[in-house]
């Protein structure tokens, strides 16, 4: 960072604007790189840095990341239904942000799980707008209470990935207001995020980053937003329209649109007025000043990135991950696993020894440590338990990464990256820069060493050792071009001829594979040669190369590999183990490569032969427990065959300990589903309008999203919204309305822990609106409360609150919110289907309003 005095902190913003030259103003509205704002040293204006969330803080390099704590994904957080806990998550992430020398976290994501197949469903809280908004508010409040700015995203309608930069989310104004804008509106009402990030796509045919309706009319005028609006990365599509509409900052840099030439051109043509330019500049400066004032030690610090790791931090991450786990099914109380019933436990499944901690895309990060499920169970098991393991089947999309088997030529863990420029005659220069990487996913989008020529080469070298003599399958995926040599022999050519795949947000190839024979403990030399350049078109090339027509935004490569196994034999081994064990814990699901930003999942099915394997395990062992790692719903054709099912989501680096704590009853599960698990693809509310058609995504389900659709059309879900079991039981005792002043209502609910262990319970209040000739969902979540650690036999009291929003809908005729006078039914329960109490209230007055 440039060292400068702190005079900017107390500078008068109007004064500064008057001193800025036009060129400097333009520079402030874009960025010099992927993560920083533009500094203006002449006026002592510092640069501030942002970093990606939401489930941790990656820092400013995909290439050589500084490890961070990985927290559970948003669906896991929402499953806690615990506002105070999510506020603590925000506080925790603020500290993580600051040690990455950043003062802005690009989070939370509060788009809606219109479909569980959405690539970023794991990153968003819920299908329910109220739950999403409350969770987002708590997260933002926690973060901003520590001076770190949220950049709540993606405003609005980025609910699927298919054609995400182009698609128009076609929906009614009611759906827009009541479902998709609602979480953002609640967050603005309850937490006032200091930054909003626009989404890639369009609403009403206009890209969100250039929509005056969204950015000026709704966000600023109606909701009173005072912060900055930043584009999603490469989500700015013009010069004057976005600036006029209210987009303050184009990200990332270097700019594509806000060059002096283009902006001056717009000023001269009077498509852009100097006063609008100044308004955007004032916003940015006020924002940078606020962040510098709140965090001088970061903004004027050394710019370095650091990792925190203490026992308290580990304890927090572990407890948090545990709280999100949802016990979906527990036949014959198969769980918790207790010493009097289980002596031999079989652990099976593709994810048991894997490091599945988050979904993929910009939310993924390099964790400072990972406790795998296998390690957590080994560590957490009671002493007498005998544990055996069989993989059962693979379920990876790309072969597992290889860093744990690699050493650099000088013996350090990982492999060595050496960059070379290209000389005029196409030869390689002497090495320009070298880095040791402990990851075989090499992302080059936000980092390239200085001094390279336009076309350059990267050589990745390492020594690979495995501990078994096996046929070993290797896979090379690339955005750019690459070849793999093993012991000097060309093994994979993903250079000469390429097949497009969905690697790297759809800008790379498929995984090209080859099998080599490896001997136990005999090291082989690995060399991957990569180039960002493309050879001149070959007249024999039938166009089967990954398109380079567009300047590619993503550059990188990925090397994977694992033992080539015989699928039938692997299943047979696992079944044999299950047969001779007292219980089986299967750990599987998805991975960041199946569920990721950049593409949507094609189906609800578990990948690979997992479903078949689970059925076979259950057939030989009645105590089969399935733990699913996935950020949203998957189908479970084997549901009735197995005894126990845990939805563990992606629970961050403490995943193994969290699973073990629940399996062995050290923690009593208390998560509740924040989204409906459908039985079949066809039952999803958005089906069949899941993808963009001719540039439009038709939100034909309108306001009936998730459980509202299932209830309206009487479609039985696999597991309903709000569902989750416990190792104890709660009985509803009483509900009293303790206060009613118009729409402001407070209820007190008594419930008793009628089981034998302490536990927590979530009370959910759903409102049914009167029939006044307007269609409403049968039930809508409008309040919830959690009682914590209630001892066996004890009575607890939960308070539920309602206000005018609890009875409101968007009046499309008048373009305002409305509450109809009439009788409303309040359904209180333990899920949307398990309603334990109903009470009617009457609202005597009709209300309407705009704004918050
Ligand atoms: C994502 C954003 C993210 C940004 C920066 C984009 O691809 O949509 O959520 O914050 O990249 O990584």
Query: 472-497, pLDDT tens digit by residue?
Result: 999 999 999 999 999 999 999 999 98
Does residue 661 have its Cβ closer than 6 Å to ligand 1? Answer: no
Q: Which atom of ligand 1 is nearest to the CA of 107?
A: 10
Structure token pair of residue 62: 């995909």
- For 16, residues 6+ apart whose C-beta sits below 8 A from its C-beta are 8, 43, 45, 285
pLDDT tens-place string over residues 53-80: 999 999 998 888 999 999 999 999 999 9
Round to whole Å and give the CA distance between 606 and 651: 18
Q: Which secondary-structure segment (H or E) carries 737?
A: strand 730-741
Which ligand 1 atom sits closest to the C-alpha of 53?
10
Cβ of residue 362 lying under 6 Å from some atom of ligand 1:
yes
Which of 604, 774, 470, 668 has its CA nearest to residue 116? 604
Percentage of residues in the chain having pLDDT higher than 90: 94
Q: Is the CB of 153 under 6 A from ligand 1?
A: yes
Residue 52 Cβ inside 6 Å of ligand 1? The answer reads yes
Q: Which region among 160-169, 209-218, 446-455 has the lowest average model confidence (pLDDT)?
A: 446-455
For 272-289, write each residue's pLDDT tens digit. Answer: 999 999 999 999 999 999
* Residue 541 reports pLDDT greater than 80: no
The predicted-structure confidence for 393-417, as pLDDT tens digits, reads as follows 999 999 999 999 999 999 999 999 9
Query: What would the mean pLDDT of 700-718 be, rounded to a whole number?
Result: 98
Ligand 1 atom 3: residue of nearest CA: 362
Q: 456-464 and 415-422 as β-strands: parallel, antiparallel, unpaired?
A: antiparallel
Distance between CA 373 and CA 435 in Å, rounded? 31
**Ligand 1 atom 4, closest CA:** 233
Residue 543 clears pLDDT 70, i.e. is over it: no
The pLDDT score that the predictor gives to residue 507 is: 81
Torsions phi, psi for 619 (to 5 deg): -65, -30
Mean local confidence (pLDDT), 79-92: 98
* Residue 806 pLDDT greater than 70, yes or no: yes
Q: Which two tokens stand for residue 276?
A: 């609008």
Which residue, by CA, sits nearest to atom 7 of ligand 1?
233
Nearest Cα residue to 676 out of 713, 641, 632, 739? 632
pLDDT digits (tens, 9 = 90+) for 16-52: 999 999 999 999 999 999 999 999 999 999 999 999 9
Q: How far is the CA of 597 from the centre of ligand 1 (A)?
A: 9
Atom of ligand 1 nearest to the CA of 52: 10
pLDDT over threshold 50, residue 549:
no
Give the phi and the psi of residue 578 in degrees, each rounded to 5: -60, -40
| CB distance 66 to ligand 1 below 6 Å | no
Confidence of residue 537 (pLDDT cuts 50, 70, 90): low
Gap between the Cα atoms of 387 and 544, Å rounded: 50
Q: Does residue 648's CB lie within 6 angstroms of at least one atom of ligand 1?
A: no
- Mean pLDDT of all residues in 173-195: 98
Q: Are 666 and 337 in contact (CB under 8 A)?
A: no
| Domain residue spans of the chain | 403-563, 730-849
Radius of gyration of the chain (CA): 27
Cβ atoms of 180 and 157 within 8 Å: the answer is: yes
106 Cβ below 6 A of ligand 1: yes
- Nearest residue by C-alpha to atom 12 in ligand 1: 362
pLDDT score, position 590: 98
What is the CA(197)–ligand 1 centre distance, in A?
9
Cβ pair 279, 244 in contact under 8 A: no
| Centroid of ligand 1 to alpha carbon of 151 (angstroms) | 11
User: In the predicted model, what is the mean pLDDT of the chain?
Assistant: 95
Residue nearest to atom 8 of ligand 1 (CA): 232
Among 233, 251, 506, the mutation site with the greatest number of ligand 1 atoms within 8 A of its Cβ is 233
Q: What's the CA-to-centroid distance between 362 and ligand 1, angstroms?
A: 5
Rounded to the nearest whole angstrom, what is the distance from the C-alpha of residue 465 to the centroid of ligand 1? 36
* CATH code at 730-849: 2.60.40.10
- CB of 295 within 6 A of ligand 1: the answer is no
Confidence label for 536 from pLDDT (cuts 50, 70 and 90) = low
Distance of CA 127 to the CA centre of its chain: 14
Using most ligand atoms within 8 A of CB, pick from 52, 108, 167, 195 the residue to mutate for ligand 1.
52
User: What pLDDT does residue 747 have?
Assistant: 98
In the reported structure, the alpha carbon of residue 248 is separated from the centroid of ligand 1 by a whole-number distance in angstroms of 17
Name the band, by pLDDT with cuts 50, 70 and 90, for residue 550.
very low
In short, whether 151's Cβ falls inside 6 Å of ligand 1 is no
Query: For a substitution probing ligand 1, which of 119, 362, 599 has the most ligand atoms within 8 Å of its CB?
Result: 362
Q: Is the CB of 232 under 6 A from ligand 1?
A: yes
Which residue's alpha carbon is at the smallest distance from atom 5 of ligand 1? 233
pLDDT of 545 higher than 60: no
Query: Which ligand 1 atom is at minimum distance from the Cα of 200?
Result: 8
Residue 547 has pLDDT above 60, yes or no: no
Helix, strand or coil, per DSSP, at residue 284: helix
Pocket test for ligand 1, best of 121, 209, 597 (most atoms within 8 A of CB): 597
Ligand 1 geometric centre to CA of 107 (Å): 10
Long-range contacts of 425-428 (CB under 8 A, 24+ apart): 428/457
| Owner of token pair 């500094």 | 39
The Cα–Cα gap between 19 and 34 comes to 27
Give catalytic residues, as residue numbers.
232
| Ligand 1 in reach of 233 Cβ (< 6 A) | yes
How far apart are the C-alpha atoms of 212 and 203, rounded to whole Å?
11
Query: Is the per-residue pLDDT at 166 higher than 90?
Result: yes
Index of the ligand 1 atom closest to the CA of residue 34? 5
Residue 197 pLDDT more than 50? yes
CA–centroid distance, 456 to ligand 1, in Å, is 26
Whole-number pLDDT of residue 530: 97
Residues 673-700: b if buried by 16+ CB within 10 A, e if exposed: bbbbbbbebebbbbbebbbbeeebbbbe
Task: Please check the confidence at residue 846 and state whether its pLDDT lies above 80.
Answer: yes
Short-list 328, 377, 331, CA closest to 622: 331
Return the DSSP state at 296: H
Ligand 1 centre to CA of 166 (Å) is 16
Cα 688 to averaged position of ligand 1 atoms, centre (Å): 27
Instruction: Give the pLDDT of residue 548.
Output: 44
233 Cα: distance to centroid of ligand 1 (angstroms): 6
User: Does residue 220 carry a pLDDT above 90?
Assistant: yes
CA angle 630, 633, 637 (to 5 degrees): 105
Residue 798 Cβ inside 6 Å of ligand 1? The answer reads: no
* Probe target for ligand 1 pocket from 165, 361, 505, with the most ligand atoms within 8 Å of CB: 361
Please tell me the residue having the least CA distance from ligand 1 atom 6.
233
Ligand 1 atom having least distance to the Cα of 446: 12
Question: Looking at domain 403-563, which CATH architecture does it have?
Answer: Sandwich (2.60)
**Collapsed DSSP state (helix, strand, coil) of residue 443:** strand
Task: Work out the average pLDDT over 115-135.
Answer: 98
293 CA to middle of ligand 1, Å?
Answer: 26
pLDDT, residue 719, reads: 98
Beta-bridge mates of residue 767: 780, 826
Q: Whose CA is nearest to atom 11 of ligand 1?
A: 233
pLDDT score of 15 more than 50: yes
Count of helix runs (H) and strand runs (E) in the chain: 19, 36
Instruction: Identify the band that residue 739 occupies on the pLDDT scale cut at 50, 70 and 90.
Output: very high
């Amino acid at each position: 960072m440039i060292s400068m005095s702190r005079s900017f902190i107390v500078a008068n913003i109007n004064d500064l604007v008057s001193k800025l030259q036009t060129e400097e103003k333009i520079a402030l509205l874009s960025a010099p790189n992927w993560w920083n704002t533009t500094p203006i040293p002449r006026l002592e204006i510092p640069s501030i840095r942002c970093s990606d969330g939401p489930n941790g803080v990656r820092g400013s390099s995909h290439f050589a990341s500084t490890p961070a704590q990985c927290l559970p994904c948003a669906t896991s957080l929402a499953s806690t239904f615990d506002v105070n806990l999510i506020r603590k998550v925000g506080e925790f992430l603020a500290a993580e942000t600051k040690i990455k020398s950043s003062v802005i976290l690009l989070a939370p994501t509060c788009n809606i799980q219109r479909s569980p197949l959405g690539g970023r469903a794991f990153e968003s809280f819920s299908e329910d707008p109220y739950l999403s908004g409350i969770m987002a508010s708590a997260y933002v409040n926690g973060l901003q209470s520590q001076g770190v700015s949220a950049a709540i995203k993606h405003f609005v309608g980025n609910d699927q990935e298919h054609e995400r930069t182009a698609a128009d989310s076609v929906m009614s104004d009611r759906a827009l207001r009541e479902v998709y804008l609602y979480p953002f509106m609640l967050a603005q009402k309850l937490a006032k995020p200091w930054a909003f990030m626009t989404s890639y796509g369009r609403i009403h045919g206009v890209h969100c980053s250039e929509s005056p309706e969204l950015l000026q009319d709704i966000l600023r005028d109606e909701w009173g937003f005072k912060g900055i609006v930043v584009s999603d990365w490469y989500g700015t599509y013009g010069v004057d329209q976005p600036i006029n509409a209210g987009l303050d900052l184009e990200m990332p840099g270097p700019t594509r649109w806000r060059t002096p030439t283009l902006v001056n051109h717009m000023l001269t043509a009077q498509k852009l007025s100097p006063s609008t330019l100044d308004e955007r500049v004032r916003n940015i400066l006020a924002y940078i000043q606020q962040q510098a004032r709140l965090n001088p030690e970061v903004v004027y610090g050394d710019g370095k990135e650091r990792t925190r790791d203490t026992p308290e931090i580990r304890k927090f991450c572990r407890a948090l991950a545990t709280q999100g786990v949802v016990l979906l099914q527990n036949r014959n109380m198969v769980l918790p696993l207790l010493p009097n019933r289980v002596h031999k436990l079989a652990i099976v499944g593709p994810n048991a020894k894997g490091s599945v901690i988050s979904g993929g895309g910009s939310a993924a990060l390099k964790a400072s440590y990972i406790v795998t499920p296998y390690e957590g169970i080994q560590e957490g098991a009671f002493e007498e338990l005998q544990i055996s393991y069989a993989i059962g089947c693979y379920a990876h999309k790309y072969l597992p990464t290889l860093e744990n088997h690699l050493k650099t030529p000088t013996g350090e863990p990982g492999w060595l990256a050496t960059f070379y420029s290209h000389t005029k005659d196409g030869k390689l220069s002497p090495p320009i820069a070298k880095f040791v990487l402990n990851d075989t996913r090499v992302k080059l989008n936000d980092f390239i060493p200085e001094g390279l020529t336009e076309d350059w080469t990267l050589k990745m070298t390492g020594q690979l050792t495995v501990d078994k003599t096996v046929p070993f399958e290797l896979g090379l995926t690339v955005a750019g071009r690459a070849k793999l040599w093993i012991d000097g022999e060309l093994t994979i050519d993903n250079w000469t001829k390429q097949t497009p795949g969905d690697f790297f947000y759809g800008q790379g190839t498929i995984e090209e594979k080859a099998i080599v024979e490896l001997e136990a403990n005999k090291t082989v030399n690995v060399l991957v040669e990569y180039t960002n350049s493309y050879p001149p078109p070959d007249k024999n090339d039938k166009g089967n190369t990954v398109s380079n027509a567009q300047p590619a935004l993503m550059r990188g490569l990925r090397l994977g590999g694992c033992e080539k196994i015989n699928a039938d034999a692997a299943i047979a081994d696992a079944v044999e183990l299950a047969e001779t064990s007292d219980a089986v814990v299967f750990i599987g699901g998805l991975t960041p490569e199946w569920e990721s930003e950049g593409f949507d999942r094609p189906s609800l099915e578990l990948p690979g032969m997992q479903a078949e394997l689970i059925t076979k395990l259950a057939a030989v062992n009645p105590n089969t427990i399935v733990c699913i790692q996935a950020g949203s719903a998957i189908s479970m054709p084997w549901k009735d065959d197995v005894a126990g099912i845990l939805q563990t989501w992606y629970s961050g680096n403490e995943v193994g300990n969290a699973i073990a704590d629940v399996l062995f009853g050290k923690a009593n599960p208390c998560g509740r589903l924040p989204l409906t698990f459908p039985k079949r693809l066809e039952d999803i509310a958005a089906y069949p309008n899941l993808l963009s058609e001719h540039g439009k995504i038709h939100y034909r389900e309108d306001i009936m999203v998730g459980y509202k659709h299932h209830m309206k059309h009487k479609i039985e879900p696999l597991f309903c919204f709000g569902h989750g079991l416990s190792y104890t039981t709660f009985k509803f005792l009483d509900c009293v309305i303790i206060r009613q002043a118009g729409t402001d209502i407070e209820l007190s609910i008594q419930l008793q822990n009628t089981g034998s262990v302490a536990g927590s319970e979530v009370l959910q209040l759903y409102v049914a609106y009167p029939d006044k000739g307007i269609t409403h969902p049968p039930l809508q979540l409008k309040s919830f409360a959690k009682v914590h650690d209630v001892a066996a036999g004890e009575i607890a009291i939960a308070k539920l609150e309602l206000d005018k929003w609890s009875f409101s809908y968007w009046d499309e005729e008048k373009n305002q919110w409305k509450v109809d006078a009439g009788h409303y039914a309040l359904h209180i329960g333990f899920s949307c289907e398990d309603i334990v109490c109903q009470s009617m209230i009457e609202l005597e007055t009709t209300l309407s309003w705009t704004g918050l």
